């Protein structure tokens, strides 16, 4: 069954039909979903989804976009939610310099990223990283933590080139591959997928964002993952089934499900 490692079903885009959509997953071959927290206020929604649906697990954490909304209490809350029996990762955390250009914002994001990496280390949980236009700083921080007893993690929606991929793969980390792989102009990502061993790739959508072809531009959901699996299978010259089985195995191993 397909393992979806990163979606946001707490997003308001799913308000009209969340229940119906999530109830249709099993039948469509989607076996497991990890809902990733993004905002400070969204954490309770991820917990509610984990508690309602047996096949939904959670990553708890706050996205760099919300770094300025985080307080001491937020960090405490993340630590306490990380001990929930269905929490499988700390995420999505990281750096985003695309939407935030000021030096001060970068420093604050780094501080919150580190604080959440500390929780991952102390609670022995994998991390789930968002990194956009922040390649060097992300690598520096991840390297530093990987040297000191981190469990491992996923670089979600991997958007850098082969050289950067090599750095993360050499540390034993996983790359999250989603809808972008189906885009015609995704030359760089296609090179990365050709280069990376299948044993270090996992499937993800980032729903409701980044719908693959042929549904590009529409609301995304895990039901679109077969298009992602097919694109990876074509690049690697293997079957879709192999991609689905291997990436499921990888995700279950890392996230201990």
Rounded CA Rg of the chain? 17
CA dist 128 and 125 (Å) reads: 10
Stretch that binds Zn ion, among 80-88, 204-212, 226-234, 248-256 (CB under 5 A): 204-212
Number of residues that bind Zn ion (CB under 5 A): 2
CA dist 77 and 57 (Å) reads: 17
- Beta-carbon contacts of residue 48 (< 8 Å; ≥ 6 apart): 10
Binding mask 71-110 for Zn ion (x = CB under 5 A): ---------------------x------------------
Nearest to 61 by CA among 123, 150, 12: 123
In the bound state with Zn ion, the residue whose beta carbon lies nearer, of 204 and 233, is 204
Helix-strand-coil percent breakdown of the chain, rounded to 5? 50, 20, 35
Give the nearest residue (CB) to Zn ion: 206
With CB under 5 A as the contact rule, the residue among 105, 206, 246, 248 that binds Zn ion is 206
Stretch that binds Zn ion, among 75-83, 114-122, 205-213, 218-226 (CB under 5 A): 205-213
Does 10 sit near Zn ion (CB under 5 A)? no
Which residues here bind Zn ion, judged by CB under 5 A? Answer: 92, 206
């Amino acid at each position: 069954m397909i393992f979806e490692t990163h979606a946001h079903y707490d997003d308001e885009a799913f308000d009209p039909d969340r229940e119906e959509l999530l109830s249709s997953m099993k039948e469509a071959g989607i076996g497991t979903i990890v809902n990733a927290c993004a905002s400070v206020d969204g954490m309770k929604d991820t917990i509610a989804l984990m508690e309602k649906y047996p096949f939904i697990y959670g990553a708890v954490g706050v996205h760099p976009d919300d770094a300025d909304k985080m307080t001491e209490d937020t960090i405490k809350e993340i630590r306490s939610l990380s001990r929930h029996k269905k929490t499988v990762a700390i995420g999505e955390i990281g750096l985003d310099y695309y939407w935030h250009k000021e030096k001060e914002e970068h420093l604050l994001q780094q501080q919150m990223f580190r604080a959440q990496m500390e929780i991952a280390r102390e609670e022995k949980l994998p991390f789930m990283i968002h990194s956009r236009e922040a390649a060097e700083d992300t690598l520096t921080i991840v390297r530093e933590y990987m040297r000191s007893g981190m469990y491992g993690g996923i670089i979600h929606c991997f958007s850098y080139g082969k050289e950067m991929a090599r750095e993360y793969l050499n540390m034993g980390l996983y790359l999250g591959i989603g809808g972008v792989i189906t885009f015609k102009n995704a030359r760089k990502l296609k090179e990365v997928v050709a280069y990376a061993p299948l044993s270090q790739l996992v499937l993800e959508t980032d729903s409701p964002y980044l719908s693959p072809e042929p549904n590009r531009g529409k609301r995304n959901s895990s039901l679109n993952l077969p298009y992602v699996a097919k694109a990876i299978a074509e690049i690697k010259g293997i079957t879709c089934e192999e991609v689905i089985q291997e990436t499921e195995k990888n995700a279950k191993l890392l996230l201990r499900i």
